[in-house]
Amino acid sequence: MNRWHLWKRIIPLLMVFSLLLTGCSLVGQGSNPIDPKASVAEEQYGLILLSLGIMILVVIVVFVLYFYAIVRYRRKPGDDSIPKQVEGSHKLEIIWTVIPLILLLILAIPSVAITFSQDEDYTEDPEVIQVKAIGHQFWWEFEYSDLEIYTAQDLVLPVNQRVQFELTATDVKHSFWIPGMGGKMDTNPGNINLLYLDTPAEPEVLLGKCAEFCGASHALMDFKVRVVSEEEYDAWVANMQAPTAAVDADVQSGEELFKQNCMSCHAIESGFPGLGPNLKGFADRELVGSYLEMTDENIFKWIKNPQEVKGGSTMPAIPLEDDQFHDIVKYLKTLTLE
Ligand code: HEC
Ligand SMILES: [Cu+2]
């Protein structure tokens, strides 16, 4: 087979594989690691661009010299002479030692400065919100210790806010990642990692992910970051801290069923942790079970058979009749803060 025939096969194959890369984009989901939304992410992105720039520069220089040498010093037909051998040029040696040194300094100074500034412990800083983020198979719990708020799945934060996360996990290792706000960090059972981030200047919803393979439904272990205005955030805090209102008579059967079958794992007052997500304000969440659209059918589908929706989920399927599940859905829909 001549060379062209080989390439005729390889090129279309490469084109097909490059299509697969389009699946890597998070564009359109409100969060993209190379589209920073706040200053921590911007600084990190700046470092990526700087190191990429230096690397590309080095690659270009090396390749230009390399091809120059190949072409310029080719063996020419009819000329078997050996070119002049050069050895030990002080000038060249100094140049190719000093230039990399300068490049490394350009890379090192901002890298070290930014790494240390982003790695400070802000636990005592009153301006920085402290949130404990706890990874569970396959959901995220958020605890605002100072405010005595426990919530899950949707992380609510005000705009322009510096946040320090205390990261931990209850079962296996997970990794906490909000691509639009900065790099990820592991959450390990039994110890706490501190992660410092800040929020965008404008209200928006960002995507958060678990970035460490943690089991069957790892890929579904998403969360949402609802960045809201100051006023909205204050209202959210006040509503979360207020007791959950009594329900109307027509949803009482659902409430009763919930109390009997679900309360052992799910609190509906935000001051308590539980084996499952705290459901205060559940109906306001963006998604059901962290990935399904918030509709009655999806809530029904989830509570009837969680394993079917999210393989390996630790929420058990409770043996109830469809009517009873419908009553519970009606009750769950009342768990709203507005
Ligand atoms: C043994 C503990 C346990 C019991 C009992 C339990 N759940 Fe759950 N529930 C969980 C866990 C754990 C999750 C998170 C699962 C996940 O996302 O992987 C969950 C998730 C949920 C969610 C989704 C929350 C969200 O914000 O996405 C709803 C709704 C829910 N449960 C309702 C119920 C109802 C209704 C019952 C009773 C019929 C019930 N649960 C019984 C543990 C439990
Ligand atoms: Cu995980």
HEC assignment per residue over 45-103: HHHHHHHHHHHHHHHHHHHHHHHHHHHHCCCCCCCCCCCCCCCCCHHHHHHHHHHHHHH
Residues in contact with ligand 1 (CB, 6 Å cut-off): 138-139, 152-153, 258, 261-262, 264-266, 275-277, 282, 285, 288-290, 299, 302-303, 310, 313-316, 318, 328, 332
Distance 315 CA to ligand 2 centre (A): 15
Under CATH, domain 27-70+88-240 is a member of which superfamily? Cupredoxins -  blue copper proteins (2.60.40.420)
pLDDT, position 29? 59
Residue ranges per structural domain of the chain: 27-70+88-240, 249-332
27-70+88-240 and 249-332 share one fold: yes
Greater pLDDT, 40 or 89: 40
**Residue nearest to ligand 1 atom 8, measured at CA:** 315
Condensed to tens digits (0 to 9), the pLDDT of residues 128-166 reads 999 999 999 999 999 998 899 999 999 999 999 999 999
Q: Are 233 and 150 in contact (CB under 8 A)?
A: no
Condensed to tens digits (0 to 9), the pLDDT of residues 83-138 reads 788 788 899 899 989 999 999 999 999 999 999 999 889 988 999 999 999 999 99
Tell me what the pLDDT averaged over the chain comes to: 91
**Residue nearest to ligand 1 atom 24, measured at CA:** 289
**Residue nearest to ligand 1 atom 32, measured at CA:** 303
Condensed to tens digits (0 to 9), the pLDDT of residues 191-200 reads 999 999 999 9
Q: Where are the alpha helices (DSSP H) in the chain?
A: 3-21, 39-72, 90-118, 230-241, 252-261, 296-304, 306-309, 322-332
pLDDT, position 46? 94
What is the residue type of 262?
C
% of the chain with per-residue pLDDT over 90: 71
The minimum-distance atom of ligand 1 relative to the CA of 314 is 12
Ligand nearest to the CA of 318: 1
Condensed to tens digits (0 to 9), the pLDDT of residues 209-225 reads 999 999 999 999 999 99
Read off the pTM. 0.86
The minimum-distance atom of ligand 1 relative to the CA of 285 is 26
Ligand nearest to the CA of 256: 1
pLDDT, position 255? 94
Q: How confident is the model at residue 74 (pLDDT cuts 50, 70, 90)?
A: confident
Which CATH architecture does the domain made up of 249-332 adopt? Sandwich (2.60)
